[in-house]
Structure 1
Amino acid sequence: MASKNVDPLSVEEPSGGTGGGEEEEEERHAGGEWSWQSQVPVKVLRAHSDAVTGARLCCNDRCILSCSSDCSTILWEVESGKPLRTFDGVHSKTIAECVVIPNSNRMVTVSWDKKIASWDLETGQTLWMWQQAGLLTSCSSSSDGRLLVFAADPQKGVSICDAASGRTLQHVSDHHRSTVTRCRFDPQSRRVASVSMDRCVKLLDLLALRTTAAFDSNHSNVISDCCFTSNGHFLCTASWDKTLKLWDLQAGGFRSEGGTSLRSGHEGSVSSCSFSTDAMLLVSGSYDRTVSLWNTSSLCQTLVLKGHSDWVTDVSLSTDRKLLASSSKDGTVRLWDIENVEEMPEVLQKTRTEGTGTHILKCEECGKPFPVSRLMTSELLTRCVFCRLRSPPKYRPQPPPLT
């Protein structure tokens, strides 16, 4: 009998298998050890009893924080792949998003039950909890950990609150024409980007407390997610129209030229996106059950990771770009070891045939050369990623005044 060709990057169970042998092998590796069934090693983390709506690498990439429709949040240890603590008993409906507060041992959850709650990561205790007027769809923390922004529906608005107390400092209702699907602080905590089912992108200036940019994305369907590069110059949007777009916020070209579409994308709606710290890599998750890696120099998809058996709902990259976490409606979190993917033949081939090259700049601080994508080139990008990480941003946002 002829053997069936199996995708070497896939850890899906081949159809027509031997009655569950591969599934039993995956179960044995789940949560504790790396599975080597594909060229990209993966750990499968199982503890949630329903769809996992979010997964974030955190605590200096030593942990993963995941949230779920089972109304719980779990803190996982990366090294062992085991749950360290489960946070539950507060929410009664799907937890839409969870976020770790920088410079603290706290995290925040927002839920469709209209509650926003702050938790102590070490003790598991609830520090504060507030009931909001609408179901909550997204949450983000400022880089210094002082402020939170969250989105509520049907108010179609965003609110800024104090991270320590949960007290609302500013609320903007009817910020969009439809449900706000994602809100994100920029890395300097000067602006909040929000995207919506109305297919528009808006930037809210925290000092002026007004919208400084509002533009139609030209996506043909709902915008599901957005993310900033670490310098805040570029924004990526992900959409149910199966595409991702990159927006140059620094040069302002998006106002006249629109966004840059990434080529050869997903076969299903794109649910999530995340940049690496150096902005050379973009990862995305999709309802086609895959995770994609994108080279921002060539603006092309370089690798597709398969294994989830249902929609991928979230993706997150480690600071050193060695690990990738993904969550899925299949109830699992997957941790992928992507440290050596750039050496894989599939990636090398795509880089050679589709790459457009990079610029090599000299760091003004340490004097060493460093590569930067053509897309990310800017007169303000003058230091390598290591020097930028060593120097904290000079800007410290002040809480918005009470109204």
Structure 2
Amino acid sequence: MNTSQKELVKATVPVLKASGNDLITYFYQRMLTNNPELKDIFNMANQASGKQQNALTGAVLAYAENIDDPTVLINTLKAIGNKHVSLNIAAEQYDIVGNHLINSIIEVLGAAATPELIEAWTCAYNELAQIMISIEADMYQKNSLKKGGWKGWRSFVIYKIVAESDEINSFYLKPEDNQEIADYFPGQYISVSTFIPELGHKQPRQYSLSSNSNNEYYRISVKKEMGQKTPDGIVSNALHDKKEGDLLDVSAPAGLFYADPEAKNPLVLVSGGVGLTPMMSMVETNKNALQRNQTVWIHSCRNENVHAFKDTIEELNNEKTWLTSFVFYETLPETETNAIEGRIDLQQIKEEILIKDAKYYICGPAVFIKVQYQSLVSLGVSRENILYEEFGPQLLSLN
């Protein structure tokens, strides 16, 4: 891109801030109408809620604001690349997206979409697409070369289903071909795709791996969204209707939210609801590691009945000196419990969680993450030592 084109792109920032979401909403409607096959890839629940539109609007705005040096967005682009690879996004699909995005700009802006502006945005999009294609090509290659790794979708069998709470089931998945599977870092996720009869097409979802890495199976632990059949919760309901022996399409493990099993830093884990799943992987991995990093796990949920892995964590907490756990219930049980009533209050346990050289991991709903992140910062924890994973499209930008 030349200097004048970059200035034209930057000049659209006020328009994107004022009405970018309208443009992106129009873009998605145009693309999914003309290319309905992409409904197998895009999360239609996030489309219905507007989360996907908000996420893309924010990404386009950030790119326009940093058009002089897009490399400052590299961590964000890598996170998006991980998600794309988990969905088996192909390089040629960037042409489809680009075509609909540029035509949406023309159709929405009308006379304001001058030939010079369209040329500038076409160049800008093509440069971004090449950056993403390069990032993803590297990831695909690493996945393919990895022992037990693969590219794209692979058929897995649900060989065991275990109820972990009143609303969370664990699904143990083995490859249908009985070949090796790729290892992963504790905290990473896989994508699962299955046909949804109510929609008439497949739907993918990302689920954190909830066990330590092994060469036999993957475990995901899925919350059934009660009373939500369409569109939000439709895949979790479909999974909870599955039986042992059913097949699912699965992508290779991905994600940047993980604890390095070779690092010796203490871990402080803060989870809300089903956000405990990646933390479970971290704890199981730590249990099997030689160094047994000091770990403090703070978990919050509505009540005892929806607390997944409750007995497992209590047993570890009682037996292992490296683990300390705190549980917060909004409603305490009538029987004796060590749980604390209410929602997580990190100030209340600050002496236990302010540990030298610790890494802090937060997972749960967006509001939960924001509250806990701000609490850690107010306690003096460095932002660079706080990692978080938001379920669904990335809308938070806290670091």
TM-score past 0.5 threshold: no
Give the strand-richer structure, 1 or 2.
1
Q: Which has the higher contact order (CA 8 A, sep 6+)?
A: 2
Give the helix-richer structure, 1 or 2.
2
The TM-score, its normalising length taken from structure 1, stands at 0.29
The TM-score, its normalising length taken from structure 2, stands at 0.30
